[in-house]
Amino acid sequence: MINLFGVINESIQYVKGIGPKKAEKLNKLGIYTIKDLLYYFPRQFEDRSVIKKIAQLEDEEKVTVKALITNIESYTPKKGMTITRIDVKDDTGFAKLTFFNREYIKNTFRVGDSILAFGKVKKNGRFVELNSCELEYLSTSPKNIGKLVPVYPLSYGITNKDIMNTVRMVFENKDIKIPEYMPEYLLKKYRLCGIDYAIKNIHFPKDKESLKVALYRLIFEELLVLQLGLFMYKGGNSNEKGILFKRDQRLDEVLESLPFSLTRAQNRALNEIIDDMCSEKVMNRLVQGDVGSGKTVVALLALAECVFNGYQGALMAPTEILAQQHYESFTETFEDIGINVELLTGSVTKKQKEGILHRARDGEIDILIGTHALIEDNVEFKNIGLVITDEQHRFGVRQRGKLSSKGTSPDILVMTATPIPRTLALILYGDLDISIIDELPPGRQPIETIAVEKKKRDKVYNSLVRREVDKGRQVYIVCPLVEESESLDITSATETAEEIKRDFFPDLRVGLLHGKMKPSEKDAIMTAFKNHELDILVSTTVIEVGVNVPNSTLMIIENAERFGLAQLHQLRGRVGRGKHQSYCVLIYGSNSEVCRKRMGIMEETNDGFKISEKDLEIRGPGEFFGTMQHGVPELKVANLFKHMKILKTVQQEARIIIGEDSTLDFKEYRGLKREIESKFKDKIEKDITMN
Ligand code: ADP
Ligand code: MG
């Protein structure tokens, strides 16, 4: 250990007491170097700092006692078991400490010793006992008792003490210096402690305040590295030159021909989009709006603007049902204007497809709507100017990118109803500008939601379903699986449809829709439902996204406990799309606390943002990010939800930094840049090549 800066990058084996065997185990925890060890943070702390008098002890509490040993004895009640009992006293009373199979204690401690003991209190009248204690001599610098003690995530036979001792060894080595990579001015501006202090106190905090100070610095740093990394790697194309559109008068005519006027939020989003299109920068924009907020019409208007400027446009949707629906509403609006819209999905015939491909290449098609079929290699355009992805969370980053590669720098718009708190969206989509449609069209009444236990299911069907159908409304019933599975008590769509026709409503028109049906069959059913030739549609989650039948007012979800909150919210969004009061009934078959909590949230609010925050709270951001398939480095101390306030501060600062030095090559940022590079190392390749 000669080179001061090199030291922390040395192998963990250089630490005293770490042989090849232990090193190997540490490796399994991802600890290879001394630096890895120092950044292996405790999961939580056990608060052993509260020292109590014996007379004040309460049953069941875990606490530290300072006392004097008055007696020690050891006995063997049966073979292989030794019990050691130590009597202690302080100036308020007496207590017994009990140890199982820890004979060495008898040889380590003596009557008359002053000790610190940490353990769980068992109190019975005046009889006080401390079980499975940790014991230490009272000294001026107690090691593990009388303070906040780190609890590390463990496995592979590594104990908490192993890690504590190893970290302690490292700290005792005066050569160890952790280089400070945070620029001096940031430390000052945000009153952050130095890295040395932070690392020492995250492992062995002097007290609660020091821990707080250390944590703040580390959270700030982690978020800054994450945000700067995302800006640096994903924001690269922000200066790319694109098509210069001109706002066209005819757009106003389309606006006037709509059966409604746009909400303020829709107008704002549209203006932001048109402004982007009319600038020479390539548009890269996310439209985020809760279910039913009216994103489709915004997409329609943007595409109209594109076509008026002489370019083609494309709209990709995740399901055939949705693509079909968009196609129908677009043709209705564009028929008289002479904009030619066509539909390309997996279910068009070979011959039809050839025609479509031909017309797209020739520029005869103005707007091509479709599913994944749009990104197949043989789909080419004459001059594509705008590509839109609906419900973009259903597509990977790669697919999104593939659609835009069908032209030279077309503008890009992606739409999502997955409500992500704004700051999170910024983190996730660091490369996108965001428009938020945070207002529902007027006249919508909030959907009334109730959650009921399974045993009340019959009642729901007999009263609610009947009532809505009698009023001339339509009903969705969603089930988790297609076919009955024997092992799980899950109501399947097929069975439910049968049952409903047979046992509940022989007089009503009941349809069935699921993902295993042929596209043409799905189509026929959806069309029938739309035309009110069906009263009840029993379905799997294929209707989750986008489907729009304003006359349906009741959504029943079977086995609601099987769905995520965001998904329940999406499903619920299939009703409440017209002027009629709508209802959602969640039928659940679990009595767990988590289930009741989740159902409660759904009953309480219709606000997708709130729901997604709660979801995040319950599931934790790790899983949240997991499902978002995004290559962001794992966070150790920061929690994007809990530390939203710090995140906001960090984002502001990161914008300033990137604005001044987009590649972080200034001398003061070099340390930070190295951190970013190492954290993003393997993530970059995966994610960036997709873009
Ligand atoms: P989403 O944002 O979930 O995709 P849609 O675009 O499907 O929502 O719109 C939901 C419903 O609201 C549709 O029936 C649409 O015609 C209607 N709608 C959209 N904008 C308005 C508006 N400004 N006023 C009234 N109804 C609207
Ligand atoms: Mg939609």
Please tell me the predicted confidence (pLDDT) of residue 469: 95
Please tell me the predicted confidence (pLDDT) of residue 630: 45
Ligand 1 pocket: which of 286, 297, 332 to mutate (most atoms within 8 A of CB) = 297
Please tell me the predicted confidence (pLDDT) of residue 620: 55
Pocket-forming residues, ligand 1, beta carbon under 6 Å: 260, 262-263, 266, 289, 291-297, 417, 441, 546, 548, 550, 577
Query: In terms of pLDDT, which residue wins out, 452 or 13?
Result: 452
Report, as an integer, the average pLDDT of 54-78.
Answer: 86
pLDDT band at 628 (very low <50, low <70, confident <90, very high): very low
Closest residue by CA, ligand 1 atom 23: 262
Q: Write out 621-684 in H/E/C secondary structure.
A: HHHHHHHCCCCCCCCCCCCCCCCHHHHHHHHHHHHHHHHHCCCCCCHHHHHHHHHHHHHHHHHH
Closest ligand by atom to 392 CA: 2
User: What's the order of all strands across the beta sheet hosting 536-539?
Assistant: 448-453, 583-588, 552-557, 474-478, 536-539, 510-513
Closest residue by CA, ligand 1 atom 20: 294
- Domains by residue range for the chain, with CATH: 50-146 (2.40.50.140), 180-234+646-691 (no CATH), 250-437 (3.40.50.300), 448-605 (3.40.50.300)
Residue 154 corresponds to which tokens in the numbers above?
Answer: 């463990």
Does residue 590 surpass a pLDDT of 80? yes
Longest dimension (CA), the chain: 100
263 CA closest ligand 1 atom index: 23
What 3-state class would DSSP assign to 115? strand
- The answer to which of 13-22, 329-338, 519-528 has the lowest mean pLDDT is 13-22
What contacts 60, CB < 8 A, 6 or more positions away? 120, 121, 122
Please tell me the predicted confidence (pLDDT) of residue 425: 63
Measured distance CA(320)–CA(640) in Å, rounded: 35
296 CA closest ligand 1 atom index: 6
Does residue 1 surpass a pLDDT of 90? no
Measured distance CA(214)–CA(75) in Å, rounded: 46
Question: Which range among 99-103, 142-146, 147-151, 437-441 has the greatest average pLDDT?
Answer: 437-441
Q: Which residue has the tokens 């759904």?
A: 602
Residue 169 corresponds to which tokens in the numbers above?
Answer: 């060894």
Looking at beta carbons, which pairs linking 332-336 to residues 24 or more positions away fall under 8 Å? 333/254, 333/257, 333/258, 333/300, 334/304, 334/366, 334/367, 336/257
Task: Output DSSP code: residue 394.
Answer: G
Ligand 1 pocket: which of 268, 290, 293, 530 to mutate (most atoms within 8 A of CB) = 293
Does residue 468 surpass a pLDDT of 90? yes
Please tell me the predicted confidence (pLDDT) of residue 163: 84
Please tell me the predicted confidence (pLDDT) of residue 117: 86
What 3-state class would DSSP assign to 5? coil
Find out whether 177 and 7 touch, Cβ atoms under 8 Å. Answer: yes
Distance 520 CA to ligand 2 centre (A): 21
Task: State which amino acid sits at residue 23.
Answer: A
pTM, rounded to two decimals: 0.63
CA distances from 364 to 27, 355, 367 (A): 61, 11, 9
Closest ligand by atom to 441 CA: 1
Closest residue by CA, ligand 1 atom 18: 294
What are the tens digits of pLDDT across the range 531-557?
A: 999 999 999 888 777 788 999 999 999
Report, as an integer, the average pLDDT of 131-139.
Answer: 77
pLDDT band at 167 (very low <50, low <70, confident <90, very high): confident
Closest residue by CA, ligand 1 atom 25: 441
Report, as an integer, the average pLDDT of 462-489.
Answer: 82
Query: In terms of pLDDT, which residue wins out, 422 or 477?
Result: 477
Please tell me the predicted confidence (pLDDT) of residue 685: 40
Please tell me the predicted confidence (pLDDT) of residue 431: 60
Distance 537 CA to ligand 2 centre (A): 19
Please tell me the predicted confidence (pLDDT) of residue 31: 85
pLDDT band at 219 (very low <50, low <70, confident <90, very high): very high
Report, as an integer, the average pLDDT of 300-325.
Answer: 94
Element (H, E) at 127: strand 127-137
Please tell me the predicted confidence (pLDDT) of residue 140: 60
Query: In terms of pLDDT, which residue wins out, 566 or 256?
Result: 256
pLDDT band at 678 (very low <50, low <70, confident <90, very high): confident
Closest residue by CA, ligand 1 atom 5: 294
437 CA closest ligand 1 atom index: 2
Report, as an integer, the average pLDDT of 312-324.
Answer: 91
Does residue 50 surpass a pLDDT of 90? no
Does residue 435 surpass a pLDDT of 60? yes
Please tell me the predicted confidence (pLDDT) of residue 471: 95
Closest residue by CA, ligand 1 atom 24: 441
Q: Which residues surround ligand 2, an ion (CB under 5 A)?
A: 546
Measured distance CA(419)–CA(396) in Å, rounded: 17
pLDDT band at 308 (very low <50, low <70, confident <90, very high): very high
What are the tens digits of pLDDT across the range 11-20?
A: 888 777 778 8
CA-based R_g, the chain, Å:
32
Q: Which residue has the tokens 């920061």?
A: 638
Does residue 690 surpass a pLDDT of 50? no
- Average pLDDT taken over every residue of the chain: 84
Closest residue by CA, ligand 1 atom 15: 294
What are the tens digits of pLDDT across the range 376-409?
A: 889 999 999 999 999 776 665 556 667 777 877 8
The number of C-alpha atoms within 13 Å of 601 and in the hemisphere containing its C-beta is: 24
Query: In terms of pLDDT, which residue wins out, 516 or 584?
Result: 584
What are the tens digits of pLDDT across the range 610-619?
A: 887 777 666 6
Report, as an integer, the average pLDDT of 489-503.
Answer: 82
Percent of the chain with pLDDT over 90: 34
Query: In terms of pLDDT, which residue wins out, 546 or 672?
Result: 672
Distance 545 CA to ligand 2 centre (A): 7
Please tell me the predicted confidence (pLDDT) of residue 182: 92
What are the tens digits of pLDDT across the range 631-644?
A: 456 777 887 767 87
What are the tens digits of pLDDT across the range 231-265?
A: 777 654 456 678 899 999 999 999 999 999 999 99
